[in-house]
Amino acid sequence: MRTDELITLLSRDAPSQAGRRFAPLLLGAGVVGAAVSLAVLIAWLGMRPMHEAMRSGSFWMKAAYTTLLAASGLFVTTRLARPGGRAGAALWIAALAIAWLATMAGMETMHTPAAGLPRLWLGQTWRVCPLRIVALSLPVLAAALIALRRMAPTQPALAGAMAGLFAGAVGATVYGLYCRETAAAFVVVWYSLGIAACAALGAAIGARALRW
């Protein structure tokens, strides 16, 4: 087929088309994925009593941290979804959230006697926390990557990583409805590790599945 024939063919397939708005699509994928994660959490680990959680500062600290990371991942992925898109300033939201929690962790450390430090940083669940977060993130990651495939990321691995950041942070938010760990030191290490693992998974999958 000659190129001018191809162009003729393409020009006949040109219905009027509104631009695709990706942020609502990705947000929708996040909501659907989070609903599945929540169902998995309830069936698997159960939720902690909410009246108790709502009164604990650490519950809100965790929720704020993971929500900020999710928002950062959402904005950055939205930008990377279009040809030529750059990560942009929204990545700073994640950086600031990490810096904020690391500062809180440093303050906790200063106020904790040496003997209490392992408990502060490792909590009671450090062995299982990152893996559980990754597991709860998988439905969100799948939904986010499916949404991304309808777009045209020109940096597929990076776009996949940022979709993974978004998914990991949403998964971690869901996990926060169960988790009773209270220390910022714990969260900044083990929550972040789970979320980072999800981002790495997103990058690995994205590098293949998001090509077009």
Partner 1 sequence: MTDTETVLKALMLRGLAGDAKAHGELLATLARHLRAFFARRLGGAQVDVEDLVQETLLAIHLKRDTYDTAQPFTPWAYAIGRYKLLDHFRRQGVRRAVPLEDAGELIAAETTEEGAVRRDLDRLLSDLPERQRALVQDVKLTGHSIEEAAGRQGMTPGAAKVAIHRSLQRLARKVRQ
**Contact residues for partner 1, defined by CB under 8 A:** 1-20, 22, 81-85, 151-152, 154, 211-212
Instruction: Quote the least distance from Cβ 202 to partner 1, whole Å.
Output: 19
Q: How would you classify residue 211: left for phi > 0, otherwise alpha for psi between -120 and 50, otherwise beta?
A: beta
Among the listed residues 55, 58, 48, 53, the one whose alpha carbon sits nearest the alpha carbon of residue 178: 48
- E-state strands within the chain: none
Residue type, 53: A
Instruction: Quote the least distance from Cβ 78 to partner 1, whole Å.
Output: 11
Instruction: Quote the least distance from Cβ 153 to partner 1, whole Å.
Output: 9
Q: Are 108 and 58 contacting, i.e. CB atoms less than 8 angstroms apart?
A: no
Instruction: Quote the least distance from Cβ 141 to partner 1, whole Å.
Output: 21
- E-state strands within 76-189: none
Q: Which CB atom, from 24 or from 46, has the smaller least distance to partner 1?
A: 24
Instruction: Quote the least distance from Cβ 93 to partner 1, whole Å.
Output: 21
Q: Which CB atom, from 81 or from 184, has the smaller least distance to partner 1?
A: 81
Q: Which CB atom, from 15 or from 49, has the smaller least distance to partner 1?
A: 15
Q: Which CB atom, from 22 or from 65, has the smaller least distance to partner 1?
A: 22
Q: How far is CA 157 from CA 23, 25, 161, 200, in A?
A: 19, 20, 6, 9
Q: Which CB atom, from 5 or from 113, has the smaller least distance to partner 1?
A: 5
Q: Which two tokens stand for residue 132?
A: 């559980």
